[in-house]
Amino acid sequence: MKLRIAFAIVSCALSIVLGLVISKQQTKPLTDKVAQVEKERDLLAATQDRTAADLKAAKGMLVSQTEAISGGKLFDAMMADVKAKQKEAAAVADTKLFIKMKPAPAPESKAKPRIGLSLDTLKEERWQRDRDTFVAKAQALGAEVIVLSANSDDVQQIKDCNSLLAQNIDVLVIAPHNGEAMSRAVEEAHSTGVPVCAYDRLIRDCALDYYFTFDNVKVGELQGRFLMQRLFPGGVQQGGEKKRIARIYGAPTDNNAKLFRQGQNNAIQPYADSGQLEIVHEDWAEDWKPENGKKITQAAITRAGATPLDAILASNDGTAGGAIQALLEEQLTGKVLVTGQDADLEACRRILRGEQTMSIYKPLKLLAEQTADAAVALAKKQPIKTTGVTPNGKRDVPTLQVDIIAVHKDNLRDTVVKDGFHKEEDLFGAK
């Protein structure tokens, strides 16, 4: 009995042990799988921690570098260097008169040719007429005209040309205040492919394309010849009666003024050589201002002393008006011959009153219209009609000249009135 009980206990124990062994063998793969998953989880977590740390370190480095560049000494040094170069560039630009433009935008589409007209001044009646006639003619030909006036300021006129070039013009027409200074504007226009025409006054020492003007040497010759014929009806005579004159030249910056003087010399020099003509005083009238003509005349009257002047050879109507004002103050109007040029309305009225002896009528309407014709043709790449060439110090410039006429009391109706330059009622109704 005891033996059977012991056997049963041993069998039961063996069964339990065998069951445990079998159970362990059956659950081992699952346990191993769980262990592997936990290991991979721990590895992933470690990797994420390292990645976050790396990102944080990189971000810190980037912030540090940014702060160093923007707020540090390196940035300050770089900015100081940039500002110094900007200041140096501005100083260089100021010494060159012409302001360099930024690269021009792409050319805008234009239905019409566009002409830029840069004028020295619009203070005088003559230049207002030139502008109005030029614009009207160009517009009639289908062109657009942009007009700027420099008020006799070289720097301003160069800026004006700069502005016109920036407006995508096809042709630039310049009536220069200073024929030498404006050569820079011609060079700048050519650098952008824009041709340049000089109007009435020559631009020197550049590759000027065209020049439209009057025969300015002939202007001076007509003035001098008219005066000599009035002073010396018998012509040049050795030992003849001596006459005394003052001479008022134009602006020294205007090339035309030098040509007028050259023509005057051609006419009067034989009389000076014969001893018949004495030049008491002569000077240049800055900017063609009438007040400067008056000052020159006052100086001449003072130099003449007790022997009065016989004539004043003034180069244009503006300076003639100043001279006549000085004569008026000395009660000498009508007693001294006075020449002029441009046939301004007031000058023609002075001629009728006997205060001014003559003027030169330059058909401005014809010159302005022919220049407008040429500018539009040039914009359309068409041939230009010229009458000759004019040396400007660098090249022989193709030139078109318009004839001139000496006007006096006896031919005003047949010249300025007949051509419509002045109205009958404005001129003869104002005596």
In this prediction, residue 239 carries a pLDDT of 76
In this prediction, residue 33 carries a pLDDT of 52
- Other residues' Cβ atoms within 10 Å of the Cβ of residue 325: 17
In this prediction, residue 198 carries a pLDDT of 98
CA angle 219, 223, 227 (to 5 degrees): 165
287: Cβ contacts below 8 Å, ≥ 6 apart:
152, 251, 253
- Report how far residue 2's alpha carbon sits from residue 214's, in angstroms, rounded to the nearest whole number: 158
In this prediction, residue 34 carries a pLDDT of 45
Residue 95 included in any domain:
no
Asked if 422 and 280 sit in the same domain, the reply is yes
Asked if 188 and 311 sit in the same domain, the reply is no
In this prediction, residue 124 carries a pLDDT of 86
Asked if 327 and 383 sit in the same domain, the reply is no
Q: What is the per-residue DSSP string for 212-224? A: EEE-HHHHHHHHH
Q: Which structure tokens are listed for 147?
A: 């007009």
Residue 30 included in any domain:
no
Radius of gyration from C-alpha coordinates of the chain: 46
In this prediction, residue 133 carries a pLDDT of 96
Asked if 229 and 336 sit in the same domain, the reply is yes
Asked if 351 and 369 sit in the same domain, the reply is no
Asked if 198 and 326 sit in the same domain, the reply is no
pTM exceeding the 0.95 threshold for the entire prediction: no
**CATH code (residue 379):** 3.40.50.2300
Instruction: Work out whether strand 405-407 and strand 359-361 pair parallel, antiparallel, or are unpaired.
Output: antiparallel
Residue 48 included in any domain:
no
Residue 175 included in any domain:
yes
In this prediction, residue 49 carries a pLDDT of 56
Asked if 288 and 340 sit in the same domain, the reply is yes
Q: Which structure tokens are listed for 385?
A: 């009609």
**pLDDT values of the chain reduced to their tens digit, one per residue, 431 residues:** 444 554 445 454 445 444 444 444 444 554 565 456 456 556 545 555 554 555 455 445 544 444 443 444 444 544 455 455 445 444 434 434 444 444 444 445 467 999 999 999 998 888 999 999 999 999 999 999 999 999 999 999 999 999 999 999 999 999 999 999 999 999 999 999 999 999 999 999 999 999 999 999 999 999 999 999 999 999 998 877 899 999 999 999 999 999 999 999 999 999 999 999 999 999 999 999 999 999 999 999 999 998 999 999 999 999 999 999 999 999 999 999 999 999 999 999 999 999 999 999 999 999 999 999 999 999 999 999 999 999 999 999 999 999 999 999 999 999 999 989 999 999 987 45
Dihedral (CA of 336, 342, 346, 349) sign: positive
Overall domain count for the chain:
2
Asked if 381 and 331 sit in the same domain, the reply is no
Residue 96 included in any domain:
no
Asked if 123 and 156 sit in the same domain, the reply is yes
Asked if 252 and 335 sit in the same domain, the reply is yes
Asked if 317 and 380 sit in the same domain, the reply is no
Asked if 394 and 251 sit in the same domain, the reply is no
Residue 227 domain boundaries: 216-362+407-428
In this prediction, residue 356 carries a pLDDT of 98
Closest CA to 348 of 425, 421, 408, 414: 408
